[in-house]
Amino acid sequence: TPAKPQTVLSDVLLSRPRLHDLVREVDPSEQLDEEVEEILVSLADEFVENTVNAACLLAKHRKATTVEVKDVQLHLERNWNMWTPGFGTDELRP
């Protein structure tokens, strides 16, 4: 039996249409080369892997059995200086 298209795409985290939408959002006149798109797609992959790994280490450090939003958040804040509000862990911070 022929493979379903879904199984072919099963490990693709970021689709080209999504990437195009984002590019259009940033700058409607911007055009990306095919090679640049490829790099961005693999960069997204790498980012996800690194982030999940880092969150795992933080979760283990606080002796938890699973990863929570706060683990991801801590990593993003400390390593990427990325502040991500609206994920249920909002606290007033200085």
Nearest to residue 17, comparing CAs of 42, 43, 37?
37
CA distance 64 to 31: 45
Smallest distance, another protein to C-beta of residue 48, A: 6
Within positions 28 to 57, which residues make up the interface with another protein, using CB under 8 A? 30, 32, 36, 40, 43-44, 47-49, 51-53, 55-57
Q: Are 40 and 19 in contact (CB under 8 A)?
A: yes
Intra-chain end-to-end CA distance of the chain, in Å: 59
Q: Is 73 in the site for another protein (CB under 8 A)?
A: yes
Residues that bind another protein (CB under 8 A): 9-15, 18-19, 22-23, 25-27, 30, 32, 36, 40, 43-44, 47-49, 51-53, 55-57, 59-60, 64-69, 72-73, 76, 80, 82, 84, 87-88
